[in-house]
Protein backbone atom coordinates (compact mmCIF):
# COMPACT_ATOMS: atom_id res chain seq x y z
CA UNK A 1 0.00 0.00 0.00
CA UNK A 2 1.30 3.48 -0.80
CA UNK A 3 1.63 5.93 2.04
CA UNK A 4 -0.50 7.53 3.39
CA UNK A 5 -3.10 4.75 3.49
CA UNK A 6 -5.81 6.89 1.98
CA UNK A 7 -9.21 5.44 1.02
CA UNK A 8 -8.81 3.91 -2.43
CA UNK A 9 -11.43 6.11 -4.09
CA UNK A 10 -9.85 9.30 -2.75
CA UNK A 11 -6.40 8.66 -4.25
CA UNK A 12 -5.22 11.33 -6.64
CA UNK A 13 -8.21 13.61 -6.04
CA UNK A 14 -7.63 17.37 -5.69
CA UNK A 15 -9.35 19.26 -2.88
CA UNK A 16 -12.29 21.43 -3.94
CA UNK A 17 -11.73 25.17 -4.11
CA UNK A 18 -11.57 28.17 -6.36
CA UNK A 19 -8.07 29.59 -6.83
CA UNK A 20 -7.44 31.88 -3.86
CA UNK A 21 -5.15 34.66 -5.12
CA UNK A 22 -3.86 37.68 -3.23
CA UNK A 23 -5.23 41.16 -3.95
CA UNK A 24 -1.85 41.92 -5.50
CA UNK A 25 -2.20 39.05 -7.97
CA UNK A 26 -5.85 39.81 -8.68
CA UNK A 27 -7.10 43.21 -7.48
CA UNK A 28 -10.63 42.57 -8.84
CA UNK A 29 -11.94 39.37 -7.23
CA UNK A 30 -15.17 38.25 -8.85
CA UNK A 31 -14.88 34.49 -8.43
CA UNK A 32 -16.60 33.28 -5.24
CA UNK A 33 -19.89 35.22 -5.14
CA UNK A 34 -18.98 37.17 -2.02
CA UNK A 35 -20.70 40.42 -1.17
CA UNK A 36 -18.11 43.09 -2.08
CA UNK A 37 -19.22 45.42 0.72
CA UNK A 38 -17.74 44.90 4.20
CA UNK A 39 -19.40 45.87 7.50
CA UNK A 40 -19.50 49.43 8.87
CA UNK A 41 -17.28 50.40 11.79
CA UNK A 42 -20.34 50.40 14.10
CA UNK A 43 -21.08 46.81 13.10
CA UNK A 44 -17.40 45.84 13.50
CA UNK A 45 -17.41 47.35 17.02
CA UNK A 46 -20.54 45.42 17.99
CA UNK A 47 -19.09 42.17 16.66
CA UNK A 48 -15.81 42.82 18.51
CA UNK A 49 -17.70 43.44 21.76
CA UNK A 50 -19.65 40.20 21.30
CA UNK A 51 -16.41 38.29 20.65
CA UNK A 52 -14.86 39.83 23.79
CA UNK A 53 -17.85 38.76 25.88
CA UNK A 54 -17.59 35.22 24.46
CA UNK A 55 -13.84 35.25 25.24
CA UNK A 56 -14.58 35.74 28.96
CA UNK A 57 -16.22 32.32 29.01
CA UNK A 58 -13.85 30.41 26.73
CA UNK A 59 -12.80 28.03 29.53
CA UNK A 60 -16.28 26.48 29.14
CA UNK A 61 -17.71 24.53 26.21
CA UNK A 62 -20.25 26.49 24.16
CA UNK A 63 -24.02 25.86 24.12
CA UNK A 64 -24.26 22.63 22.12
CA UNK A 65 -27.79 23.47 21.05
CA UNK A 66 -26.87 27.10 20.16
CA UNK A 67 -30.29 28.16 21.43
CA UNK A 68 -29.81 31.94 21.39
CA UNK A 69 -28.51 31.83 17.84
CA UNK A 70 -31.38 29.60 16.69
CA UNK A 71 -33.81 32.11 18.20
CA UNK A 72 -32.12 34.93 16.30
CA UNK A 73 -32.13 32.97 13.03
CA UNK A 74 -35.79 31.96 13.51
CA UNK A 75 -36.72 35.64 13.90
CA UNK A 76 -34.72 36.54 10.83
CA UNK A 77 -36.30 33.76 8.72
CA UNK A 78 -39.78 34.71 9.87
CA UNK A 79 -39.54 37.76 7.60
CA UNK A 80 -40.00 35.35 4.70
CA UNK A 81 -43.15 33.52 5.87
CA UNK A 82 -46.40 33.97 3.95
CA UNK A 83 -49.31 36.08 5.23
CA UNK A 84 -51.10 34.03 7.87
CA UNK A 85 -48.23 31.49 8.23
CA UNK A 86 -46.89 30.96 11.76
CA UNK A 87 -43.43 32.41 12.44
CA UNK A 88 -40.45 30.02 12.23
CA UNK A 89 -39.60 28.58 15.67
CA UNK A 90 -36.08 27.91 17.04
CA UNK A 91 -36.92 24.16 17.02
CA UNK A 92 -37.25 24.39 13.23
CA UNK A 93 -33.76 25.87 12.87
CA UNK A 94 -30.33 24.26 12.89
CA UNK A 95 -26.97 25.98 12.27
CA UNK A 96 -23.40 24.87 11.54
CA UNK A 97 -20.07 26.15 10.21
CA UNK A 98 -21.30 27.25 6.79
CA UNK A 99 -24.19 25.73 4.87
CA UNK A 100 -21.63 23.29 3.49
CA UNK A 101 -21.46 21.72 6.94
CA UNK A 102 -25.26 21.78 7.23
CA UNK A 103 -25.47 19.92 3.93
CA UNK A 104 -22.84 17.36 4.96
CA UNK A 105 -24.75 16.74 8.20
CA UNK A 106 -27.94 16.20 6.20
CA UNK A 107 -26.19 13.57 4.10
CA UNK A 108 -24.62 11.97 7.17
CA UNK A 109 -28.05 11.63 8.74
CA UNK A 110 -30.24 10.87 5.72
CA UNK A 111 -27.83 9.59 3.05
CA UNK A 112 -25.24 6.83 3.45
CA UNK A 113 -24.47 3.37 2.06
CA UNK A 114 -27.32 1.95 0.00
CA UNK A 115 -28.97 5.36 -0.25
CA UNK A 116 -29.20 7.70 -3.22
CA UNK A 117 -28.78 11.46 -3.50
CA UNK A 118 -30.13 13.19 -6.61
CA UNK A 119 -29.34 16.59 -8.07
CA UNK A 120 -29.64 18.20 -11.50
CA UNK A 121 -26.57 19.32 -13.45
CA UNK A 122 -25.13 21.83 -14.04
CA UNK A 123 -25.26 22.59 -10.33
CA UNK A 124 -23.13 23.15 -7.23
CA UNK A 125 -19.99 21.06 -7.58
CA UNK A 126 -19.82 20.22 -3.86
CA UNK A 127 -22.90 17.97 -3.90
CA UNK A 128 -21.13 14.93 -5.41
CA UNK A 129 -18.36 15.40 -2.86
CA UNK A 130 -20.73 15.26 0.14
CA UNK A 131 -22.15 12.09 -1.40
CA UNK A 132 -18.69 10.57 -1.85
CA UNK A 133 -17.67 11.50 1.70
CA UNK A 134 -20.78 9.89 3.19
CA UNK A 135 -20.67 6.80 0.92
CA UNK A 136 -23.98 7.79 -0.65
CA UNK A 137 -24.75 7.02 -4.28
CA UNK A 138 -24.95 10.19 -6.35
CA UNK A 139 -27.20 10.47 -9.40
CA UNK A 140 -27.12 13.64 -11.52
CA UNK A 141 -30.15 14.39 -13.66
CA UNK A 142 -29.87 17.08 -16.34
CA UNK A 143 -31.36 20.55 -16.49
CA UNK A 144 -33.03 21.76 -19.67
CA UNK A 145 -31.04 23.64 -22.33
CA UNK A 146 -31.91 27.01 -20.68
CA UNK A 147 -30.86 25.60 -17.26
CA UNK A 148 -34.42 25.47 -15.88
CA UNK A 149 -35.65 22.25 -14.32
CA UNK A 150 -37.89 20.06 -16.45
CA UNK A 151 -40.46 18.96 -13.85
CA UNK A 152 -41.55 15.83 -15.69
CA UNK A 153 -37.98 14.63 -16.14
CA UNK A 154 -37.25 15.40 -12.49
CA UNK A 155 -40.32 13.47 -11.35
CA UNK A 156 -39.36 10.54 -13.52
CA UNK A 157 -35.89 10.44 -11.99
CA UNK A 158 -37.32 10.60 -8.46
CA UNK A 159 -39.71 7.72 -9.25
CA UNK A 160 -36.99 5.49 -10.72
CA UNK A 161 -34.16 6.29 -8.28
CA UNK A 162 -36.17 6.64 -5.03
CA UNK A 163 -33.60 9.05 -3.54
CA UNK A 164 -33.32 9.76 0.18
CA UNK A 165 -32.33 13.32 -0.67
CA UNK A 166 -32.87 15.64 -3.61
CA UNK A 167 -30.60 18.70 -3.59
CA UNK A 168 -31.83 21.73 -5.50
CA UNK A 169 -30.27 25.16 -5.20
CA UNK A 170 -32.58 28.11 -5.87
CA UNK A 171 -31.20 30.26 -7.37
CA UNK A 172 -28.96 27.58 -8.85
CA UNK A 173 -25.17 27.88 -8.83
CA UNK A 174 -23.47 28.34 -11.34
CA UNK A 175 -26.39 29.29 -13.59
CA UNK A 176 -28.39 31.73 -11.37
CA UNK A 177 -31.67 30.03 -12.32
CA UNK A 178 -34.46 30.25 -9.72
CA UNK A 179 -36.77 27.28 -9.17
CA UNK A 180 -40.43 27.57 -10.14
CA UNK A 181 -42.26 27.47 -6.77
CA UNK A 182 -44.66 24.74 -8.04
CA UNK A 183 -41.72 22.34 -8.50
CA UNK A 184 -41.07 22.18 -4.77
CA UNK A 185 -44.54 20.88 -3.93
CA UNK A 186 -44.58 18.38 -6.78
CA UNK A 187 -41.23 16.89 -5.78
CA UNK A 188 -42.02 16.84 -2.05
CA UNK A 189 -45.19 14.89 -2.78
CA UNK A 190 -43.34 12.43 -5.04
CA UNK A 191 -40.71 11.84 -2.34
CA UNK A 192 -43.27 11.31 0.41
CA UNK A 193 -41.99 9.86 3.69
CA UNK A 194 -38.99 8.23 2.01
CA UNK A 195 -37.03 11.30 0.99
CA UNK A 196 -36.21 14.91 1.76
CA UNK A 197 -36.14 17.79 -0.71
CA UNK A 198 -33.38 20.23 0.21
CA UNK A 199 -33.79 23.65 -1.39
CA UNK A 200 -30.41 25.37 -1.09
CA UNK A 201 -31.24 29.07 -0.85
CA UNK A 202 -27.63 30.26 -0.47
CA UNK A 203 -28.56 33.10 -2.84
CA UNK A 204 -32.18 33.36 -1.71
CA UNK A 205 -31.98 37.00 -0.61
CA UNK A 206 -31.08 38.03 -4.18
CA UNK A 207 -34.27 36.60 -5.66
CA UNK A 208 -36.50 38.92 -7.63
CA UNK A 209 -39.25 40.74 -5.72
CA UNK A 210 -42.39 38.68 -5.89
CA UNK A 211 -40.53 35.34 -6.03
CA UNK A 212 -41.44 33.53 -2.77
CA UNK A 213 -38.89 31.65 -0.66
CA UNK A 214 -39.44 27.92 -0.14
CA UNK A 215 -39.80 28.93 3.55
CA UNK A 216 -43.46 29.60 2.69
CA UNK A 217 -43.98 25.92 1.87
CA UNK A 218 -42.58 24.48 5.12
CA UNK A 219 -46.03 24.11 6.79
CA UNK A 220 -47.28 22.08 3.80
CA UNK A 221 -44.37 19.64 3.44
CA UNK A 222 -42.67 18.00 6.44
CA UNK A 223 -40.02 16.57 4.08
CA UNK A 224 -38.90 20.02 2.88
CA UNK A 225 -35.59 21.48 4.10
CA UNK A 226 -34.52 25.03 3.25
CA UNK A 227 -30.84 25.89 3.73
CA UNK A 228 -29.42 29.40 3.96
CA UNK A 229 -26.04 30.97 4.62
CA UNK A 230 -24.56 34.18 5.96
CA UNK A 231 -21.80 33.88 3.31
CA UNK A 232 -23.42 35.62 0.34
CA UNK A 233 -26.06 38.39 0.60
CA UNK A 234 -25.38 38.68 4.33
CA UNK A 235 -21.76 39.71 3.68
CA UNK A 236 -20.38 37.19 6.18
CA UNK A 237 -18.37 34.67 4.14
CA UNK A 238 -15.54 34.85 6.67
CA UNK A 239 -17.91 34.02 9.52
CA UNK A 240 -18.64 30.44 8.38
CA UNK A 241 -22.27 30.27 9.42
CA UNK A 242 -24.97 28.38 7.58
CA UNK A 243 -28.37 27.16 8.76
CA UNK A 244 -31.55 25.39 7.78
CA UNK A 245 -35.26 25.55 8.48
CA UNK A 246 -37.25 22.32 8.52
CA UNK A 247 -39.58 20.15 10.56
CA UNK A 248 -38.25 19.94 14.17
CA UNK A 249 -37.89 16.14 13.77
CA UNK A 250 -35.32 16.73 11.03
CA UNK A 251 -33.33 19.13 13.26
CA UNK A 252 -33.50 16.57 16.03
CA UNK A 253 -32.14 13.81 13.80
CA UNK A 254 -29.14 15.93 12.77
CA UNK A 255 -28.14 16.23 16.43
CA UNK A 256 -27.20 12.55 16.31
CA UNK A 257 -24.47 13.06 13.68
CA UNK A 258 -23.12 16.53 14.52
CA UNK A 259 -19.77 16.77 16.29
CA UNK A 260 -20.06 17.77 19.93
CA UNK A 261 -19.87 21.57 20.31
CA UNK A 262 -19.50 21.99 16.55
CA UNK A 263 -20.27 25.72 16.70
CA UNK A 264 -17.71 27.62 18.76
CA UNK A 265 -18.82 30.16 21.35
CA UNK A 266 -17.12 32.84 19.25
CA UNK A 267 -19.00 31.81 16.08
CA UNK A 268 -22.31 31.82 17.93
CA UNK A 269 -21.73 35.22 19.54
CA UNK A 270 -20.40 36.85 16.39
CA UNK A 271 -23.22 35.48 14.21
CA UNK A 272 -25.80 36.79 16.69
CA UNK A 273 -24.17 40.22 16.68
CA UNK A 274 -24.12 40.23 12.87
CA UNK A 275 -27.82 39.28 12.83
CA UNK A 276 -28.59 42.40 14.89
CA UNK A 277 -27.13 44.37 11.97
CA UNK A 278 -28.99 42.49 9.26
CA UNK A 279 -30.50 45.61 7.77
CA UNK A 280 -27.11 47.17 7.20
CA UNK A 281 -25.46 43.96 6.01
CA UNK A 282 -28.26 43.25 3.53
CA UNK A 283 -28.42 46.93 2.60
CA UNK A 284 -26.50 46.51 -0.63
CA UNK A 285 -28.61 43.67 -2.01
CA UNK A 286 -30.76 46.00 -4.13
CA UNK A 287 -27.70 47.70 -5.57
CA UNK A 288 -26.12 44.34 -6.36
CA UNK A 289 -29.30 43.15 -8.07
CA UNK A 290 -29.30 46.30 -10.17
CA UNK A 291 -25.61 45.86 -11.03
CA UNK A 292 -26.36 42.23 -11.96
CA UNK A 293 -29.09 43.23 -14.41
CA UNK A 294 -26.77 45.85 -15.95
CA UNK A 295 -23.99 43.29 -16.29
CA UNK A 296 -26.28 40.74 -17.94
CA UNK A 297 -27.57 43.37 -20.38
CA UNK A 298 -24.03 44.51 -21.19
CA UNK A 299 -22.80 40.96 -21.83
CA UNK A 300 -25.77 40.31 -24.12
CA UNK A 301 -25.04 43.60 -25.87
CA UNK A 302 -21.57 42.24 -26.60
CA UNK A 303 -23.19 39.29 -28.35
CA UNK A 304 -22.60 36.75 -25.61
CA UNK A 305 -25.05 34.19 -24.22
CA UNK A 306 -25.98 34.81 -20.57
CA UNK A 307 -28.15 32.64 -18.35
CA UNK A 308 -31.05 34.51 -16.67
CA UNK A 309 -29.87 35.17 -13.11
CA UNK A 310 -31.71 35.64 -9.82
CA UNK A 311 -28.40 35.58 -7.93
CA UNK A 312 -25.32 37.80 -7.49
CA UNK A 313 -23.45 36.33 -10.43
CA UNK A 314 -23.87 35.72 -14.13
CA UNK A 315 -22.88 32.73 -16.27
CA UNK A 316 -21.76 33.84 -19.70
CA UNK A 317 -20.20 32.35 -22.81
CA UNK A 318 -19.60 30.50 -24.81
CA UNK A 319 -15.94 30.48 -25.64
CA UNK A 320 -14.10 27.87 -27.72
CA UNK A 321 -11.25 28.16 -25.17
CA UNK A 322 -12.67 29.46 -21.91
CA UNK A 323 -9.45 28.91 -20.03
CA UNK A 324 -7.66 31.33 -22.38
CA UNK A 325 -10.34 33.98 -21.72
CA UNK A 326 -10.12 33.37 -17.96
CA UNK A 327 -6.33 33.77 -18.12
CA UNK A 328 -6.47 36.93 -20.25
CA UNK A 329 -8.90 38.49 -17.74
CA UNK A 330 -6.57 37.52 -14.90
CA UNK A 331 -3.61 39.05 -16.76
CA UNK A 332 -5.57 42.31 -16.45
CA UNK A 333 -6.18 41.76 -12.72
CA UNK A 334 -9.75 40.44 -12.98
CA UNK A 335 -10.39 37.02 -11.43
CA UNK A 336 -13.58 35.23 -12.55
CA UNK A 337 -14.54 31.57 -12.18
CA UNK A 338 -13.96 28.80 -14.65
CA UNK A 339 -16.94 26.66 -13.74
CA UNK A 340 -20.10 25.18 -15.21
CA UNK A 341 -20.65 23.61 -18.60
CA UNK A 342 -17.79 23.63 -21.11
CA UNK A 343 -17.28 27.04 -22.70
CA UNK A 344 -18.94 29.14 -19.97
CA UNK A 345 -17.46 31.45 -17.32
CA UNK A 346 -19.07 32.86 -14.18
CA UNK A 347 -18.60 36.41 -12.90
CA UNK A 348 -19.68 37.50 -9.42
CA UNK A 349 -21.26 40.92 -9.08
CA UNK A 350 -18.91 43.39 -7.39
CA UNK A 351 -18.92 47.14 -6.82
CA UNK A 352 -19.61 49.46 -9.80
CA UNK A 353 -15.84 50.12 -10.02
CA UNK A 354 -15.06 46.39 -10.10
CA UNK A 355 -17.68 45.80 -12.79
CA UNK A 356 -16.22 48.60 -14.88
CA UNK A 357 -12.83 46.91 -14.61
CA UNK A 358 -14.43 43.61 -15.63
CA UNK A 359 -16.14 45.15 -18.67
CA UNK A 360 -12.95 46.89 -19.79
CA UNK A 361 -10.90 43.72 -19.41
CA UNK A 362 -13.45 41.58 -21.26
CA UNK A 363 -13.78 44.21 -23.99
CA UNK A 364 -10.04 43.96 -24.55
CA UNK A 365 -10.17 40.16 -24.74
CA UNK A 366 -13.11 40.14 -27.14
CA UNK A 367 -11.61 42.85 -29.35
CA UNK A 368 -8.23 41.18 -29.59
CA UNK A 369 -9.72 37.80 -30.45
CA UNK A 370 -11.80 39.58 -33.09
CA UNK A 371 -14.76 37.46 -32.07
CA UNK A 372 -18.23 38.74 -31.13
C1 LIG B 1 -21.80 29.59 -1.79
C2 LIG B 1 -22.77 28.47 -1.72
C3 LIG B 1 -23.11 27.92 -0.49
C4 LIG B 1 -22.57 28.52 0.79
O5 LIG B 1 -21.65 27.78 1.43
P6 LIG B 1 -21.18 28.22 2.88
O7 LIG B 1 -20.57 26.98 3.39
O8 LIG B 1 -22.38 28.63 3.66
O9 LIG B 1 -20.22 29.36 2.70
C10 LIG B 1 -24.04 26.90 -0.45
N11 LIG B 1 -24.62 26.45 -1.56
C12 LIG B 1 -24.34 26.97 -2.77
C13 LIG B 1 -25.04 26.47 -3.97
C14 LIG B 1 -23.39 27.99 -2.88
O15 LIG B 1 -23.09 28.49 -4.07
**CA–CA dist 71, 87 (Å, integer):** 11
Q: Establish whether residue 348 lines the binding site of ligand 1, counting it when its CB lies within 6 angstroms of any ligand atom.
A: no
The pLDDT tens digits for 269-291 are: 999 999 999 999 999 999 999 99
Torsion, Cα of 282, 287, 289, 291 (10° steps)? -140
Q: How far is the CA of 362 from the centre of ligand 1 (A)?
A: 27
- Non-local CB neighbours of 220 within 8 Å, separated by 6+ positions: 185, 188
Q: Which domain CATH number covers 61?
A: 3.40.640.10
The pLDDT tens digits for 329-366 are: 999 999 999 999 999 999 999 999 999 999 999 999 99
Asked if residue 22 and residue 69 are part of one domain, the reply reads: no
Asked if residue 237 and residue 102 are part of one domain, the reply reads: yes
**C-alpha distances in Å from residue 189, one per residue of 139, 194, 335, 372:** 20, 10, 42, 46
Examine the pLDDT at 370 and tell me if it is beyond 80: no
Asked if residue 207 and residue 324 are part of one domain, the reply reads: no
**CA–CA dist 63, 88 (Å, integer):** 21
Q: Establish whether residue 201 lines the binding site of ligand 1, counting it when its CB lies within 6 angstroms of any ligand atom.
A: no
The pLDDT tens digits for 308-337 are: 999 999 999 999 999 999 999 999 999 999
Asked if residue 360 and residue 261 are part of one domain, the reply reads: no
Asked if residue 241 and residue 103 are part of one domain, the reply reads: yes
**CA–CA dist 324, 199 (Å, integer):** 34
Domain final position from 278, 312, 347: 278
- Non-local CB neighbours of 264 within 8 Å, separated by 6+ positions: 62
Domain final position from 223, 257, 278: 278
**CA–CA dist 169, 124 (Å, integer):** 8
Domain final position from 221, 244, 278: 278
Pairing of strands 224-229, 242-245: antiparallel
Asked if residue 126 and residue 55 are part of one domain, the reply reads: yes
228 bridge partner residues: 243
Q: Establish whether residue 76 lines the binding site of ligand 1, counting it when its CB lies within 6 angstroms of any ligand atom.
A: no
- State which residues form the domain around 124: 41-278
Mean predicted confidence (pLDDT) in 233-259:
97
Residue 2 in domain: no
Does residue 171 have a cis peptide bond before it, meaning omega lies within 30 degrees of 0?
yes
Residue 6 in domain: no
The pLDDT tens digits for 108-149 are: 999 999 999 999 999 999 999 999 999 999 999 999 999 999
Asked if residue 60 and residue 179 are part of one domain, the reply reads: yes
Please tell me the predicted confidence (pLDDT) of residue 2: 87
Please tell me the predicted confidence (pLDDT) of residue 107: 98
Asked if residue 317 and residue 178 are part of one domain, the reply reads: no
Q: Establish whether residue 119 lines the binding site of ligand 1, counting it when its CB lies within 6 angstroms of any ligand atom.
A: no
Please tell me the predicted confidence (pLDDT) of residue 371: 52
Asked if residue 28 and residue 164 are part of one domain, the reply reads: no
Residues in the chain: 372
Mutate to test the pocket of ligand 1, among 173, 233, 339 (most ligand atoms within 8 A of CB): 173
Against a cut of 0.85, is the pTM above it?
yes
Asked if residue 249 and residue 356 are part of one domain, the reply reads: no
Strand ranges, E, within 183-280? 196-200, 224-229, 242-245
Q: How far is the CA of 201 from the centre of ligand 1 (A)?
A: 9
pLDDT-based confidence at 16, cuts 50/70/90? confident
Residue 94 in domain: yes
* CA-based R_g, the chain, Å: 21
Number of domains comprising the chain: 2
Asked if residue 102 and residue 25 are part of one domain, the reply reads: no
Q: How far is the CA of 200 from the centre of ligand 1 (A)?
A: 8
Q: Establish whether residue 242 lines the binding site of ligand 1, counting it when its CB lies within 6 angstroms of any ligand atom.
A: yes
Mutate to test the pocket of ligand 1, among 20, 99, 233, 234 (most ligand atoms within 8 A of CB): 99
Residue 258 in domain: yes
Q: Establish whether residue 200 lines the binding site of ligand 1, counting it when its CB lies within 6 angstroms of any ligand atom.
A: yes
Q: Which domain CATH number covers 346?
A: 3.90.1150.10
Please tell me the predicted confidence (pLDDT) of residue 369: 80
CB atoms within 10 A of CB 255: 12
The ligand 1 atom nearest the CA atom of 232: 1
Examine the pLDDT at 372 and tell me if it is beyond 60: no
The pLDDT tens digits for 60-112 are: 999 999 999 999 999 999 999 999 999 999 999 999 999 999 999 999 999 99
Mean predicted confidence (pLDDT) in 47-59:
98
Residue 7 in domain: no
Please tell me the predicted confidence (pLDDT) of residue 211: 84
Instruction: Tell me the average pLDDT of the chain.
Output: 96
Amino acid sequence: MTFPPLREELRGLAPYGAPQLSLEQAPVQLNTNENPYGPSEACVADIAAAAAEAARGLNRYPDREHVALREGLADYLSRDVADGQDPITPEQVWAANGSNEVMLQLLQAFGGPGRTVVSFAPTYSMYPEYARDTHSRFVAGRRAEDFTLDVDAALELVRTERPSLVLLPSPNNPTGTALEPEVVGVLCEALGDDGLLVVDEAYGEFRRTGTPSAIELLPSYPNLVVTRTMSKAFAGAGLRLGYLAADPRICDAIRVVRLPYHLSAVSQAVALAALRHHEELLGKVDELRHERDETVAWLRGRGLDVADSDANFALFGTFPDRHAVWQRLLDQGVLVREVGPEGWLRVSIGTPEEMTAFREALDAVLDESGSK
